[in-house]
Structure 1
Amino acid sequence: MIAAGSTNVGRQVTWVATLRATLPAFAELRGGELALLSVEAARALDTRLTLATLVRRLAQAPVPVAGVVALGAITAEDAAAAEEGKLPLLQLPSGTDLRDVEREITRLIADYEAQFERRSAQLYHLLTQRSLTGEGIPGLLDTLAERTGQSVACYAPNGELRSHRSKGSARIALQALRPTAKGETNLLNQQIWVEVIGPNDYPSGFLAVAGNQLDTWDREAALRGAAAMALEIAKEQAVQAAEERLRGDFLSNILTGPPSDLAAAIQRGQELGYSLTLPHMAVLINLDDANPTVLGRVASSVQNELTRRGITAPISRRDTNVLAMIPVSGNARPRDLIEQIRERLRVDYPTIAVAIGGQVNTLADWRRTLEEAEQALILGRQLFGTDRVIAFSDLGVYRLLVRLRETPELWTFYRETLAKLADYDTRQRADLIKTLEAYFANLGNLRATSEALHVHRNTLLYRLDRIKEISGMDLDNAEEHFALWLALRAHRVLATLDEAS
Structure 2
Amino acid sequence: MVTITVRDVVRLALPEGTAVVAGAAGLGRQVSWIATLRATLPAFAELRGGELALLSVEAARALDSRLTLAVLVRRLAQAPVPIAGVAALGVITPEDQQAAEEARLPLLHLPDGIDLREVEREITRLITDYEAQFERRAAQLYDLLTQRSLQGGGIGGLLDILHERTGQSVACYAPNGVIRAQRGRGQARLALQALRPSGRGETSLLNQQIWVEPIGNSSVPTGYVAIAGTALDPWDRTAVQRGALALALELAKEQAVQAAEERLRGDFIASILAGPPADMAAAIQRGQELGYTLTAPHTAVLVHIDDASAATLGRAAANIQNELKRLNINAPISRRESNVLCMLPLPTVSRAREVAEQLRERLLLDHPNVVLAVGMPAAHLSEWRRTLEEAEQALSLGRQIFGNDRVLAFGDLGVYRLLIRLRETPELWSFYRETLASLAEYDKRQHADLIKTLEAYFNNLGNLRATSEALHVHRNTLLYRIERIKEISGMDLDNAEEHFALWLAVRAHRILSTLEEG
Amino acid at match of 2:486: K
| SS state at 1:333 partner | helix
CA displacement at 1:345 relative to structure 2: 3.3
Change (3 A) 1:498 1:286: farther
Tell me which residue corresponds to 2:85.
68
* 1:481 has 2:481 as partner: no
Q: Match for 1:55 among 67, 70, 77?
A: 77
Tell me which residue corresponds to 2:407.
389
Larger mean Cα displacement after TM superposition, 411-420 or 221-230: 411-420
Change (3 A) 1:259 1:189: same
CA displacement at 1:231 relative to structure 2: 0.5
CA displacement at 1:235 relative to structure 2: 0.6
Tell me which residue corresponds to 1:414.
432
Output the CA distance in 1 between the equivalents of 2:72 and 2:153: 45
Tell me which residue corresponds to 1:495.
513
Q: Match for 1:453 among 471, 482, 489?
A: 471
CA deviations on 1:445-490 (whole Å, 9 max, x unpaired) are 2222222222222211222222233333332333332232222212
* 1:157 has 2:179 as partner: no
Change (3 A) 1:189 1:254: same
Change (3 A) 1:208 1:430: same
Output the CA distance in 2 between the equivalents of 1:454 and 1:448: 10
Output the CA distance in 1 between the equivalents of 2:442 and 2:266: 47
Output the CA distance in 2 between the equivalents of 1:331 and 1:252: 23
| SS state at 1:278 partner | coil
On the 8 A contact 1:354/1:377 being kept in 2, the answer is yes
* 1:210 has 2:228 as partner: yes
Output the CA distance in 1 between the equivalents of 2:426 and 2:252: 52
Output the CA distance in 2 between the equivalents of 1:468 and 1:79: 97
Name the TM-score, length of structure 1 as normaliser. 0.83
Amino acid at match of 1:157: P
Tell me which residue corresponds to 2:267.
249
Q: Match for 2:283 among 262, 265, 268?
A: 265
Output the CA distance in 2 between the equivalents of 1:497 and 1:224: 56
Q: Match for 2:487 among 456, 464, 469?
A: 469
CA deviations on 1:223-279 (whole Å, 9 max, x unpaired) are 111110110111111111111111110110110112122222122222222222222
* 1:314 has 2:332 as partner: yes
On the 8 A contact 2:298/2:384 being kept in 1, the answer is yes
On the 8 A contact 2:292/2:331 being kept in 1, the answer is yes
Q: Match for 1:126 among 127, 138, 144?
A: 144
On the 8 A contact 1:306/1:312 being kept in 2, the answer is yes
Q: Match for 1:229 among 238, 241, 247?
A: 247
Q: Match for 1:6 among 24, 30, 34?
A: 24
Amino acid at match of 1:319: E
| SS state at 1:184 partner | strand
Output the CA distance in 1 between the equivalents of 2:53 and 2:336: 66
Output the CA distance in 1 between the equivalents of 2:242 and 2:253: 17
Amino acid at match of 2:499: H
Change (3 A) 1:495 1:202: farther
CA displacement at 1:392 relative to structure 2: 1.0
Q: Match for 2:162 among 121, 127, 144?
A: 144
| SS state at 1:496 partner | helix
Tell me which residue corresponds to 1:439.
457
* 1:299 has 2:317 as partner: yes
Change (3 A) 1:141 1:494: same
On the 8 A contact 1:251/1:314 being kept in 2, the answer is yes
| SS state at 2:300 partner | strand
Output the CA distance in 2 between the equivalents of 1:246 and 1:71: 55
CA deviations on 1:201-238 (whole Å, 9 max, x unpaired) are 43322222223322110111011111101101111111
| SS state at 2:477 partner | helix
On the 8 A contact 1:155/1:207 being kept in 2, the answer is yes
CA displacement at 1:36 relative to structure 2: 5.7
Amino acid at match of 2:428: L
On the 8 A contact 1:52/1:77 being kept in 2, the answer is no
CA deviations on 1:304-323 (whole Å, 9 max, x unpaired) are 33334443221111122211
Output the CA distance in 2 between the equivalents of 1:280 and 1:72: 61
Output the CA distance in 2 between the equivalents of 1:222 and 1:322: 35
Amino acid at match of 1:125: D
RMSD: 3.6
Output the CA distance in 2 between the equivalents of 1:212 and 1:56: 31
On the 8 A contact 1:4/1:89 being kept in 2, the answer is yes
Output the CA distance in 2 between the equivalents of 1:7 and 1:185: 26
Change (3 A) 1:56 1:469: farther
Change (3 A) 1:276 1:97: closer
CA displacement at 1:368 relative to structure 2: 1.0
Change (3 A) 1:14 1:470: farther
On the 8 A contact 1:195/1:226 being kept in 2, the answer is yes
| SS state at 1:137 partner | helix
Structure 2 alignment gaps of length 5 or more: 1-17, 37-41
Aligned pairs, how many?
A: 482
| SS state at 2:479 partner | helix
Tell me which residue corresponds to 2:14.
none
Q: Match for 2:373 among 348, 355, 360?
A: 355
* 1:191 has 2:213 as partner: no
Output the CA distance in 1 between the equivalents of 2:178 and 2:304: 22
Name the TM-score, length of structure 2 as normaliser. 0.81
